[in-house]
Amino acid sequence: MVPKDLKIIGSDKVTAIGMGTWGIGGYESPDYSRDKENIEALRYGLELGINLIDTAEFYGAGHSEELVGEAIRGFEREEIFIISKVWPTHFGRESAKRAARASAKRLGTYIDLYLLHWPGTEWGRIEETLHALEELVDEGLIRYIGVSNFDLELLKRSQEAMRKYEIVANEVKYSLRDRWPETSGLLDYMKREKMALIAYTPLEKGSLARNQCLAEIGKSYDKTAAQVALNYLIWEDNVVAIPKAGSKAHIEENAGAMGWRLTKDDREKARGCV
């Protein structure tokens, strides 16, 4: 089991490191060639104690959600936190509801956190979709509402548009190499508002895992470069990272980023490694 290292999304406790599924089960179309390995990897992560899985209707044209649904069978559903997302082409009151129901059907269960995957272009459609998600919370199909790839101003506007529930999370690209949430004020704002920042591409497609400078920092903690890069992110109280759950070995290494913290000095050194 991984060390207890928990963050809060809504009022739920989730592990600081989750399992991302972009590319698992295909990219823009389904890929069935590695289904067994992908399911086994996700199940291994759950067995280790990682309780957060991130997916989307767009991933593998829904096949990623099907694999997640298969992987969670036999586990206590209430102990798992599943994130999925609605693609902008499905924004709108009825379209978003249909998309959410289709995602829940592929998953075989309700959705803990449902996100608007990208902002799209029209504010009216975003607002209509957020209100549709509030209705889905009332229906019990989803539990929490969030957004993804929203900048600070759009996040504030979206939060102000909510009628009944709050936006509890924003999933954005965030890594040691791409620290825009820090420099834009987004991270500080989300901390004040007690929103979870969910960091995707936290290892920059593996390049940070090969960073020798980060590896040197990791030596004194008996940790790898990847674990240092992930720990840099989860050092913040409201940040959760979702590296890709590509294999059992990667999931085990990712889990090792939890249960400890870089010193402030080493965290500053890590910034200088990229």
Q: How confident is the model at residue 4, as a pLDDT? A: 79
Q: How confident is the model at residue 120, as a pLDDT? A: 86
Look up 110 and say whether it is catalytic.
no
Q: How confident is the model at residue 121, as a pLDDT? A: 80
Block mean pLDDT (10 aa), the chain, length 274: 87 98 94 97 98 98 98 98 98 98 98 97 95 98 98 98 98 98 98 98 97 98 98 98 96 97 98 97
Q: How confident is the model at residue 85, as a pLDDT? A: 98
Catalytic residue among 27, 32, 44, 59: 59
Q: How far apart, in whole angstroms, are the C-alpha atoms of residue 254 and residue 8? A: 19
Q: Which domains does the chain have, with CATH numbers?
A: 6-210+226-262 (3.20.20.100)
